[in-house]
A and B are shown apart, each in its own frame.
Chain A
Amino acid sequence: MSESMNFFDAIILTELEDAVGKENVKTNFVDKLVHSVDFYWSPRCWVDRGKIPNLPQYIVYPTSTEAVSKVVRIANQHKIPVIPWGGGSGSQGGALPVHSGIILDMKKMNKVVEVNESAYTATAEAGIIHQDFEWELNKKKLSTMHLPASIGCATLGGFLAHRGTGVLSTKYGKIEDLIVSMEVVLPNGDIMNTLSVPRNAAGPDLNQVFVGSEGTLGIITKATVKVFDFPESRQYRAYMFKNMHDALDAGRKIMTKRLQPCVIRMYDEAETVHQIERVMGIKKEGAYLVFGFDGYKEIVDIQLRIADEICKETATEALGSEMGESWWKNKYKFFYPPYIMDLPEGFGTMDTVATYDNVEKIYWAMKKVAESYEGTKFIAHFSHWYEWGCMMYDRFIIHPDYVPEDPKEAISLYNEIWFKCIRAAIENGGVLNEHHGIGIKMGYMMKEQYGKAFQVIEGLKDSLDPNNIMNPGKMGL
């Protein structure tokens, strides 16, 4: 028992231990520390400077939905915040215990419950690390096709909670497209299930109420998602373009011609130098575009041929399939240090999404803002594409020499750049975020973005969680 605990904390501890088992409740400093830092730069900067971040009071590892319900009821009774924690790999601070409380680490709820080979669905507990889920499915030659870089650390519930996406989303959809049904523990402890199928005419889609709610409306405990056969063929191509504009236009044509690539990724000139060269060793000037198609080989061949024709209209160099395959093989390497941005740099990922007629405007507007700060550069790639537009995965990187040593000043600078850049995006038709979620980072701007529509989300929150115990301080709620 922690020495800093007062007697009431100790009483709550006994209730939690009674609910989930003594071995599943932690109060020691180390467990608190590791649940107080995620992928968000600000707490990382904080600890990098040797400062202790906001800590939770308790860490609870439920092993069943009923246990989650019990914990939530205890939290409601005593009005203690509950923060669901999956992989802790969120970049927006969504799982941080900013108001202390109970971290509900879901990772012991990690079973694959069912694989339905007739309906092509699979059900798993929400705490399963997604890569483990994938590996189980792969044994049956199935896949969720949800393959983000965080696959080895993030959980199924985490992806659902913040509307995650994967590298194949262009064809297979984001997580909100993959969800079939889910089980949720409401803030009052009630256990509910959404309807068994995602398409119906029986009122608003409750799946989509909880998907993206980041633990503010309830805790996802189990989910059924679509799964797919391994494709007969998956082939890639890569091209260099003189500039981002040409590459973006080629990608737009591929999408608007409804060719259905499984993946498109385009790197602006800066990121081509910063990342492609570092990770893949390709030293080229211009914008790098890679795409892939998968499915029946005959169809893939046709799709590739047409996409090749589109690209060859404006590309400066055809890099062939080998460079495309190399990109696919190295797709996660970008996320390992030293390839990923890391302290002592200051860096932020400001992904946004917009229609094709607005994306370039947003790019230049954000770039102008970010690079107006000394020592700051702006790089971007475009990774999730739609028939109407695409997502820009842009980052600002502050050279270490320009990141203040004092963490408060560092965070102040960081947020200043952030708010200005995101406002530039919104002013030009973008939205706050495409797949990393809102968390703490963007919560401040939710009302600004939504205007009067925000009352719908607030109304849901007030109705479901009148005591505001569910992940308070997040999403602007």
Chain B
Amino acid sequence: MKIRAQQENIDRCRFCFMCRHVCTLGRVTSEEALTPRSQALGLSMILRDAMEYDGQLVENIYKCCLCGYCKDWCQGGWDFPSSVKAARQDIVAAGLAPQNVEDLKDEILQHKNAYGKTAIDPALKKAIESHRDKAETLVLYGNDVLYAAPEIGLSFMEILEKAGIDFMPLPDEDTSAYELYSLGYLEEAKTSAAALVAAIKGTGAKRLIVLSPDVEAFLANDLSMLDISLADIDIVGGVKCIHSLLEDAKIKISKQYQKKITYHDCNGLARETKAIDEPRAIIDRIPGGAFTELVWNKNEAHSTGSNLVSRLYPHIAKDILDKRVEDIREIESDVVITSCVYDKLGLAEIFGDEKEVIDIYELVAKLI
């Protein structure tokens, strides 16, 4: 059992209530069983052969959106999301994955994304293909950008072009290893990750820019769990890349943007890769922009959930998004800046015409 290796983590979390109020799922549902300590209690009983993975526990394990808030909040240094991932691997290995999880996995394997899309946007595809020449910098767009938010990919490319950066895409890019791993499909994730890493290495790139914070975190933290290594290449997140370009004066934000703006920190940047200052430094350069922090911000930003949870349990995902929208409505703003695809799409759908939701790459591309 994969959770055996997590026993100390699980046993430390099973009786501890100290992160319950920050758990995204627990906070939004107010249900005792949907908190880290309750999940851990269940897993600890499995470790002691006192119970098995029953339907409800399995469902609860898949409701976790892996936002990392509990881990980041914990002053004892415990990492419950790792235990959730391990539990999912056990669940899959035992053939106990719920049908909706199996269906999602099949969709990801078939279409390389979890957004229900079947093809890369033609405009983005064309733009990507225009950069087929070999370069030292490789851009990894991420399946979410390729399939669900092409405007973000196009914006990022525009920024690099204006900065005079030669870059190349990865042919037939497929970052679904991240989603497969998150769902507990270890073998499939391994296969996909191995292919991805081989493809990256095959380009000879010296530098890898990763647009998706979740994929960046996966490469940094989870690849080693699959016994795969991506050494000898300098990996940088897209936001940090943009920040450096601005710092080095390779691009300049010059257009006025007379709006009241705020910024929602995404899970991946705020709690995994810790890119908290860089988005703010970028926003700080916007002429005319009146920035107000959200009350819950930085590594304490309430999560919007995750795309995987939105596909598996849409009603819970909606409740999580609604809660974050409430937070955003507490402060006066015209524009919400986001830094990951799910945040942008999820918030934009709820805000509609009330407020503009724009990705940070889009905004920078617009203003340079």
Contacts and interface: CB of A to CB of B under 8 A. Distances in A.
A456 interface: no
B22 interface: yes
A85 B15 CA distance: 16
B44 interface: yes
A204 interface: no
Contacts of B172: none
A222 interface: no
A263 B203 CA distance: 62
A50 B48 contact: yes
A84 interface: no
A336 B16 contact: yes
Given A30-B54, A333-B75, A44 B42 contact: no
Nearest to A89: B17
A77 interface: no
B291 interface: no
A340 B49 CA distance: 26
Given A35-B32, A337-B78, A152 B18 contact: yes
Given A33-B42, A336-B76, A338-B76, A152 B33 contact: no
Given A34-B41, A59-B32, A343-B11, 15 more contacts: A30-B33, A30-B54, A30-B57, A31-B32, A31-B33, A33-B45, A34-B32, A50-B45, A61-B30, A87-B20, A88-B32, A153-B18, A332-B75, A336-B16, A340-B16
Contact of A34 (B13, B38, B48): B38
23 contacts: A28-B54, A29-B51, A29-B56, A34-B38, A34-B42, A47-B45, A50-B45, A50-B48, A88-B32, A107-B32, A108-B30, A129-B20, A129-B21, A152-B18, A152-B19, A152-B20, A153-B18, A153-B20, A336-B75, A336-B78, A337-B78, A339-B75, A342-B15
Nearest to B54: A29
Contacts of A52: 50-51
A332 B15 CA distance: 16
A34 B295 contact: no
A52 B50 CA distance: 7
Interface in B294-318: 295
A373 interface: no
A229 to B, nearest CB: 19
Interface string B109-129: 000000000000000000000
B41 A37 contact: yes
A338 B12 contact: yes
Contacts of B18: 152-153, 332, 335-336
B227 interface: no
Contact of B30 (A107, A340, A342): A107
A132 interface: yes
B82 interface: no
Contacts of B41: 33-34, 37, 47
A339 B76 contact: yes
Q: Is the interface of A mostly helix, strand, loop or mixed?
A: loop
Given A30-B60, A50-B50, A337-B12, A153 B30 contact: no
Contact of B12 (A131, A150, A335, A342): A342
B354 interface: no
B233 interface: no
A35 B42 CA distance: 12
A289 B227 CA distance: 50
Contacts of B19: 152
B21 to A, nearest CB: 4
Contacts of B48: 47-50
Interface in B50-72: 50-51, 54-57, 60
A85 B44 CA distance: 22
A355 B320 CA distance: 50
A51 interface: yes
A124 to B, nearest CB: 14
A152 B17 contact: yes
Interface in B1-53: 11-13, 15-22, 30-33, 37-38, 41-42, 44-45, 48-51
A88 B74 contact: no
A259 B60 CA distance: 51
B50 A47 contact: yes
A88 B21 CA distance: 13
B101 to A, nearest CB: 17
B179 to A, nearest CB: 26
Among all A-B residue pairs, the 9 with the closest Cβ atoms: A153-B17, A50-B48, A336-B76, A34-B38, A337-B12, A107-B30, A50-B50, A152-B21, A28-B56
A150 B17 contact: yes
Contacts of B49: 50
Contacts of B295: 139
Interface in A1-44: 26, 28-31, 33-35, 37, 39, 44
A53 to B, nearest CB: 10
Best-surrounded residue of B15, B48, B56 (most CB of chain A within 10 A): B15
A300 B20 CA distance: 35
Contact of A153 (B21, B31, B55, B60): B21
Contacts of B17: 39, 87-89, 150, 152-154
A465 to B, nearest CB: 25
Contacts of A30: 33, 38, 42, 54, 56-57, 60
Nearest to B35: A34
A59 B33 CA distance: 11
Interface string A122-165: 00000101011000000100000000001011100000000000
Contacts of A352: none
Contacts of B30: 61, 107-108, 110, 127
A28 B38 CA distance: 14
A105 interface: yes
Contacts of A332: 18, 75
Given A30-B56, A31-B56, A89-B17, A152 B32 contact: no
